[in-house]
Structure 1
Amino acid sequence: MADLPKDRVEPSTPFTYCGMDCFGPFVVKMGRKEIKRYGLLLTCMCSRAIHIEMLDDMPTDAFINALRCFIAIRGSVRQIRSDQGTNFIGAKNEFEREAKVNKLSSFLVERQCDFVLNPPSASHTGGVWERQIRTVRSILNSVLSLCPGRLDDASLRTVFYEVMSIVNSCPLTVSEIDNPEALEPLTPNHILTAKSSIPQPPPGDFLKEDLYLHKSGMNRVGTFVVET
């Protein structure tokens, strides 16, 4: 096995070195229409923390807007790695890839951020973020199975952020369950927020009357109701 890249082992602030990929689609309800939404996952190469942004569509402009939101929240990024899949540049089929990559590269150059693509047909080199996407998908499947109806944009974005918090609460160190005096296991949330990790409440019950409520010809779906 080859050595890990330097950005995986060198001490750095969170999200200085990142890997990213897109996942989805998810079908949401907007009025009487059903529209596809996607998720953009960025993971810190050092702390294994993740950040998820919702993409309205897959063109380059929407992707750059999501990156701008990410940088505004998490701070400047030194390097971003990604594969050469068509989902990254925002298309299911390969079209005008070179022009789109150049447009994205110019945006990152303005922010002094390197953009590194993996070798073609070498998805295994992106195992860091591919494994995180698998974890996110497993949690999303469990949460969305509680809701038989379609979510709207606000509800899907809320679910993304809650899943992000759950993944960032995974321990990075060994948990000594049998020792009551042991320190709390270190998690990415400790690094990001400098706060003790507090268990997140369940997303709540998706009531039938909230899932299929008709009002003025519009469908309101995906309302969260948390029991106290």
Structure 2
Amino acid sequence: MNSVIREQILDDDGLNTIFCEIESTLNSRPITMNSDDPSDLEALTPNHLLLMKRKPNLPPGLFNKTDNYCRRKLRQIQYIANLFWSRWVREYLPMLQERQKWHKQRRNTKIGDIVIVVGSIAPRNSWPTGRVSEIILDRNGLVRQVKVKIGYNVLTRPVDKLCTLFELD
């Protein structure tokens, strides 16, 4: 937290707001699948348990043209929240992606697995989840790329840019 805020000067309201933003970020991470329905890709999050919905509906600030101070404070808080999000994704998601290069054979991604797409340009607190619809093997028979269905779109991604949320066995 100190490394994200750095030399930013925040009053009590600003600090409280940034803590609420960070709490929302931490509680929006997927834990497991919400249902057994294969067409339902929404993952269960701590926010589902705390708020009974996926993420809180935080209202945007209402500003007048003369309200420069409030807009500047909101931009500062949004900037800090974006810094936290980028650091969270950079440090948290690699912990979920087990990499034991050449030491131990790990499970290949299979058709039907539910995955989080890592490295996508998604807004803060958005975890794009999809279902693996097709696998692309290399010459050794290992999965190197997959086609992931996210909503109505199908994306081709390398397996190192995916984080398996739920394995279909």
Instruction: Provide TM-score, normalisation by structure 2.
Output: 0.30
* Superposition TM-score, scaled by structure 1 size: 0.23
